[in-house]
Structure 1
Amino acid sequence: MPLRPYTFGDPHIDKATSEHIRFPMTDGQQVIAGRLGIDVLRARFAGTDPDPDPDPDPMTLFLHHRRPIEDAASAKFDRAGAPDNVLDLYAEDFDEP
């Protein structure tokens, strides 16, 4: 079952690590915590805008590219699930630009 954005929570920088963006999604029955490293976020999406910022704000970058990030999370969930209700995304979870 595909994941959908969970509307009762907002994406945020992980307070425990300061190195991840956490974003809530749901499969309709439970909330799944998506987690994407800021380094992966920047490597995958920085520079894809027409006027790239050399050091983009991670939250702005996430929000600008939210749809493909959530699509990648949903596809990974369909492949592997999230046994602990946490879904980590890595560079290999994204299609090439």
Structure 2
Amino acid sequence: MYGRADLDKQFLLSGIIAKEEFNVKVAIKFFKESVKYNRNNHKALFQLALTSDTYYKDKKIAFKHYQNFIQRFEGENKKLTLYAKNRIKEIKKEYFIKGEIVE
């Protein structure tokens, strides 16, 4: 149990380092692993959403992660929650303009 908690933190830190080194694809992999080892790590899930938003052209991927973050951790961190809600609105608007509805 304790090893798993430490492991998610190590993956989160590795993801942040990879992101700072502009290795976004690897960062996403580390953030996914962090969430896998500790589903309650709201920072890892937010970083996964944020990094997916910048990396993937298809914003539906980030949209899904932001929604997951809001559903599970709304109110955990006011700034992160506000950012995620705003990005959800923006992504919906972008796809609506293209003639698609995202839910």
**Higher RCO (C-alpha under 8 Å, 6+ residues apart):** 1
TM-score category by the smaller chain? under 0.3
Greater Cα radius of gyration, structure 1 or 2:
2
Return the TM-score normalized by structure 1.
Answer: 0.27
Structure 1 or 2: more helix by fraction = 2
